[in-house]
Chains A and B, each alone.
Chain A
Amino acid sequence: MSARKSLALLKVEMEKVWSRPILEITIALMIIMAIMYTGPLTGIFPLLEFDAALNSALIGSVSSTANSLMFPCVIMCAVLMTLSFARDYEQGMMQSILSVPVSRGVYFVVKFFAVVLPLVLLSWGVTAFLVGLTFYSSPWLVLQSSFFVLPFSFLTLMFCGGISVLIALIIKRTIPSVLTAMLANFFLWFLTNLDTYQLLEEGVSYANFLCLTPYKGALLFLDRSLGISSRYANRFPDALEFSLSGEWFGILMVFYAFVLVVPLFVYFSRRFEICE
């Protein structure tokens, strides 16, 4: 199948997935979540420390904006991915398209990235836009630091998409798979809100391993990439969250991103029964 045909298929799929009012709702949700969690920045610093303090505030603002955008991104990715796969299967669209000479692998990739890529770009765009509104006096620094959001969102949404496709291909019914994918992703996102420091203080046994969960790991990967370190690192130097480096979290995120997508791609291309 030629690249031109694949691009045409991607365009059709994107128009279908992001039809009115999905894109509008997604943007509105992202802006609402981002402005809810990021307040106005005012501060008094000694002049000698001013530039360092401002840079640190800018980087913190990128991190907190990306953090607040995670929830709408994950929920929209779960809903759209399951809708894209389960609804097309239920309505017979998948069977019709695959009856013409379209490679199954290309079809899977097109459907997957028609959801993931716009969300990644939206996440980066909203972060750069909102941080830029506060720090428009240093646009290059805003652009530079907001670029870290791209790999973070991509890896997060690859995992989220993978889990949603898995649910859609198992359940094969639109509403149940949308609800299941939303619940599964909500649960995984909820773990990011647990305060590891407090849990470690209370001696909770699983607290040490929370940083290994996909979304918490992604946030830590972003923080480490931006050079943000936890203020509790000295208190619990042996805890995994504070002792693992950014590279480790990066490797973990790449593993999470492909652990479901690659087997699903192989399964969809070779084994998946579309004529039930």
Chain B
Amino acid sequence: MRINFTRLGLIIIIIGVLLFFEASSTHAPQMNKLGGAYVEPGDTFSYGLFLSPFGLGNLVVESDMLFAPTPEPNATRDADGGTFVDKPVIRQEYVVPVHLVVINPSNLTIVDTDLITPHTVQIDFNQRGKYIVHLTNLDNQSYPMSISLKFPKDSGIENIPADRVLFSSILTTCGVIVFCIGLSSTLIMKRKKCPGKKTAKI
């Protein structure tokens, strides 16, 4: 079976171009947060981050807790016995010394530092995969620990998945090469099949 390189090249170009547009229009989600679990003094809580290589991002380490507002003594009760409270949720923030370790997907430690919450660490997420974050409570009381990931839009940095952009660019280039090979081989074959007017002149 003969492979039609022109068609193959065209299909690869289509896939490459579509993936390139998708990759270059994909931006990192602005914020992801997880946590709130109490960490005992000296204990370590570990998180796993699954990320695309979005580039520079901010890892925010916090120790905070949300509290429901207390209802007024004369608040009206509904049928289920609940009360309507027209007050915002109270956020209590703690200042806690912690030890932070971040390991990238190649098992290299990229951050290993002591800090005081709330604190923001800038990390270059240059690989796709699992980033491990270890948080150790260095205080002598237990505190709720949480981490969040922020990719601010106004920082001027394009947080697009670099691996996809690279892959789609390579795919498009390969497609163009295969397409050109197919086109030139078709032209050569046509010339060989029909030598043209030269024969007629002889």
- Whether B7 is near chain A, meaning CB under 8 Å from some CB there, is yes
- Whether A101 is near chain B, meaning CB under 8 Å from some CB there, is no
Kindly identify which residue among A40, A43, A133 contacts B167, using a CB–CB cutoff of 8 Å.
Answer: A133
A37 to B20, CA, bound (A): 16
Contact mask for chain A residues 9-28; partner B; CB cutoff 8 A; 1 contact, 0 none: 00000000000100110011
- Whether A170 is near chain B, meaning CB under 8 Å from some CB there, is no
Chain A 41-80 interface residues, beta-carbon cutoff 8 Å to B = 41-48, 50, 53-54, 57
- Whether B128 is near chain A, meaning CB under 8 Å from some CB there, is yes
Please tell me if the beta carbons of A57 and B19 are within 8 angstroms of each other in the complex.
Answer: no
For A, the interface residue count at a CB cutoff of 8 angstroms equals 26
Kindly identify which residue among B18, B32, B129, B167 contacts A44, using a CB–CB cutoff of 8 Å.
Answer: B32
- Whether B144 is near chain A, meaning CB under 8 Å from some CB there, is no
Q: A40-B28, A40-B52, A41-B50 are in contact. Are A136 and B128 (CB under 8 A)?
A: yes
A interface secondary structure, majority = helix
Q: In the complex, what residues of A have CB within 8 A of residue B170's CB?
A: none
Q: In the complex, what residues of A have CB within 8 A of residue B164's CB?
A: 133
Give the interface size bracket for B toward A. 35 or more
Please tell me if the beta carbons of B11 and A50 are within 8 angstroms of each other in the complex.
Answer: no
- Whether A274 is near chain B, meaning CB under 8 Å from some CB there, is no
Please tell me if the beta carbons of A24 and B130 are within 8 angstroms of each other in the complex.
Answer: no
Q: A35-B22, A39-B26 are in contact. Are A46 and B47 (CB under 8 A)?
A: yes
Chain B nearest CB: distance from A47 CB in Å?
4
Please tell me if the beta carbons of B26 and A137 are within 8 angstroms of each other in the complex.
Answer: no
- Whether B89 is near chain A, meaning CB under 8 Å from some CB there, is no
Q: A28-B18, A47-B47 are in contact. List 8 more A-B contacts (CB 8 A).
A: A24-B10, A27-B15, A40-B26, A40-B29, A46-B34, A47-B48, A50-B50, A137-B129
- Where the two chains meet, the residues of A that have a C-beta atom closer than 8 Å to any C-beta of B are 20, 23-24, 27-28, 31-32, 35, 39-48, 50, 53-54, 57, 133-134, 136-137
Chain B nearest CB: distance from A14 CB in Å?
11
Between-chain CB contacts (< 8 Å), 25 pairs:
A24-B14, A27-B11, A28-B18, A31-B19, A35-B18, A35-B19, A35-B22, A39-B26, A40-B26, A40-B28, A40-B29, A41-B50, A41-B52, A42-B51, A42-B54, A43-B49, A44-B148, A46-B34, A46-B37, A46-B46, A47-B46, A47-B47, A50-B130, A54-B130, A137-B128
Q: In the complex, what residues of B have CB within 8 A of residue A40's CB?
A: 26, 28-29, 52, 161
Q: Which residue of A lies closest to B10 (CB)?
A: A24
Please tell me if the beta carbons of A137 and B18 are within 8 angstroms of each other in the complex.
Answer: no
Q: In the complex, what residues of A have CB within 8 A of residue B102's CB?
A: none
Q: In the complex, what residues of B have CB within 8 A of residue A20's CB?
A: 7
Q: Which residue of B lies closest to A47 (CB)?
A: B46
Please tell me if the beta carbons of B15 and A42 are within 8 angstroms of each other in the complex.
Answer: no
Contact mask for chain B residues 26-42; partner A; CB cutoff 8 A; 1 contact, 0 none: 10110011100100000
- Whether B132 is near chain A, meaning CB under 8 Å from some CB there, is yes
A257 to B180, CA, bound (A): 43
Please tell me if the beta carbons of B47 and A31 are within 8 angstroms of each other in the complex.
Answer: no
A269 to B1, CA, bound (A): 31
Please tell me if the beta carbons of A44 and B48 are within 8 angstroms of each other in the complex.
Answer: yes
- Whether B118 is near chain A, meaning CB under 8 Å from some CB there, is no
